[in-house]
Amino acid sequence: MFGPRGVRRSGRGRWADERRGRHRPHSPAPLGSSVGGASRRRLWSVPAQAGPVVPLELGNPLQLTETMRTRLLAAVRALVSDPALDGAGDPARLAAVVLMAKAKVATNYRTTITAKELGRWVGLKPSRIAHQVLPELREREVLGSNETTSAAGRVTGLECWVIPMYRAQHGGDRRHVLALSRVELIVLLKLIETLFAPGWVHKDGSVTPAGMLADRTGRGAATDRLGLLLMVLSSNSKGWLQLCSGSVDTSRGRPAATAGRLLGCSPAAGAKVLARLQERGLLTVDRRETASGLNARSRVRLLPVAQAHGVPVREAREAAACGVFRPR
């Protein structure tokens, strides 16, 4: 019971402290705090202007309004840093995000999925989902699930609901960070589809293309996906990532520290994620140093976001052209 997870926990124990201290409860990060303040007030104004439901223009999900972006960032961060997921692996945390995004208001914030399908979303094999990820989520009371079975008794799917969001949706407070509206859920789903949907053909023949990280599988795949999502949601309309403030490990640099804090892992791991995403042409990291080598002024640009807003980024086009979108 405490076999693999117990070992793993102790292995990550060092970082758990860091996660708890810096990143955990309502972290003082600039983006997080702005959600509680200004944007919440903006959200209040929505019912006033919304008379008849305006049919939503679902444009490029990488072109989010500031309100939507902060709202989705707050939701994703709240979910992945939920106390119940403290110390959980990235596959489990990413799976929770995917299941939240796939929740349908019409079915009481539930969604039906198979381990195989969820595995394609997360970038892991079905066996890992079924034996590690789902049990971990259930054990932590993050995931409620019913197996749906065919008449023959075969398991045909898993009806899932993400408990923290389910509670928030029924808690009566529509401003709760996890009480996402129907539209917000759809936009979040569209966004993660763009980033790492496995890609599939619908029954009617329409195609949901594979996302940018669809072919990134195996070890670290969930970390890369979660990192990209969090960074996209933490960047402005020009694609510049909001870097963390304060002092950081100078050997790793501020971008690595930012990635690490977003993901709740060490700066070293954050640097790895940045390097892998950079290699895929999804972002660029400029680390400029002054002559003395101090005061390194760094910046990170999320190229898909920049492109979506029409910012001419030549390297980005080239990178995108050379096989970033590679459906399997």
Partner DNA sequence: CGCGAGCCATAAACTGGGTT
Partner DNA sequence: AACCCAGTTTATGGCTCGCG
The string of DSSP letters for 269-290 reads HHHHHHHHHHHTTSEEEEEE--
Closest CB 274 distance from DNA, rounded Å: 11
Counting contacts by CB under 7 A, is residue 272 touching DNA? yes
Closest CB 209 distance from DNA, rounded Å: 22
201-230 positions binding DNA, by CB under 7 A: 217-222
Counting contacts by CB under 7 A, is residue 19 touching DNA? no
Residue 77 or 225: the one with the smaller Cβ distance to DNA is 225
Counting contacts by CB under 7 A, is residue 13 touching DNA? no
273-312 positions binding DNA, by CB under 7 A: 276
Would you say how long the chain is, in residues? 328
Question: Nearest CA to 302 among 319, 321, 325?
Answer: 319
44-73 positions binding DNA, by CB under 7 A: none
Counting contacts by CB under 7 A, is residue 38 touching DNA? no
CA 104 to the chain's CA centroid: 18
Closest CB 62 distance from DNA, rounded Å: 25
Residue 89 or 164: the one with the smaller Cβ distance to DNA is 89
Distance CA 113, CA 92 (A): 15
Tokens of 269: 């791991």
Burial class (CB in 10 A: 0-12, 13-18, 19+), 310: exposed
128-167 positions binding DNA, by CB under 7 A: 128, 130-132, 154-155
CB 101 within 8 A of CB 79: no
Counting contacts by CB under 7 A, is residue 328 touching DNA? no
Tokens of 68: 């939507």
Of the listed pieces 35-43, 104-112, 120-128, 239-247, which binds DNA according to CB under 7 A? 120-128
Closest CB 75 distance from DNA, rounded Å: 24
3-state secondary structure of 159: strand
Residue 124 or 305: the one with the smaller Cβ distance to DNA is 124
3-state secondary structure of 315: helix
Closest CB 128 distance from DNA, rounded Å: 4
> Nearest 5°: CA angle at 80, between 100 and 113?
30
Distance CA 101, CA 80 (A): 13
> Which residues lie near DNA (CB under 7 A)?
4, 7-8, 10-12, 14, 89-91, 115, 123-125, 127-128, 130-132, 154-155, 217-222, 251, 265-266, 268-269, 272, 276
